[in-house]
Amino acid sequence: MKINRDFLAPKGDYRNLIVYKKAECIYALTYHFAHRFLKIGDRTIDQMVQAARSGKQNIIEGSAASATSRESEIKLFNVAKASFDELLADYEDYILTRGLSYWDEAKKSRVRDYCKKQTDASHYLAIAPSRDAETIANLSITLIRQELYLLIRLIEAAKQKFIAEGGIREEMTRARLNHRSKTN
């Protein structure tokens, strides 16, 4: 049997997306941070970990949904963005309420460059035990801001693809019309 690729074309593997790899890094670092620096029983532990997990998982779901529903794809990527926005606010609150400092522009710039190249969650988990709360919070903020930028680009690309190609109904109609023109 020949596989018809006129519509419902196979999508790429979300694991290869930089936006997903960075989400894995954020989740791993947040899990470590929350369990190391927040007190047992603090609801913020669950909230931070769940926001990081939600962001990562919604990238997976959005990628899977993209085959049949551009609307769902866009919505799920927006949910991922909202989760990371929430997580960013939690890290900023942590720094503010504990009288910690944000990194200066020179340090932020160096770390931004470093984080652009480093997308392996195990790397961040390896360095986390030797870093203090202020360092991990600032590092996480840097990663989350990069993630938000990537998600905005991903959402815009999905929107443009919808405008250019339509959704599943349009793809099915084009495939049917194409089939009819070949058989007539």
For 45-83, the pLDDT digits (tens) are 999 999 999 999 999 999 988 777 788 899 999 999 999
pLDDT at 161: 86
C-alpha span between 36 and 42 (Å, rounded)? 12
70-97 helix and 133-165 helix, angle to the nearest 10 degrees = 160
pLDDT at 170: 67
Structural contact between residues 87 and 51, judged by C-beta atoms closer than 8 angstroms: yes
Structural contact between residues 49 and 31, judged by C-beta atoms closer than 8 angstroms: yes
- Give the helix ranges, DSSP H, for 119-167: 121-127, 133-165
Q: What is the pTM of this model?
A: 0.86
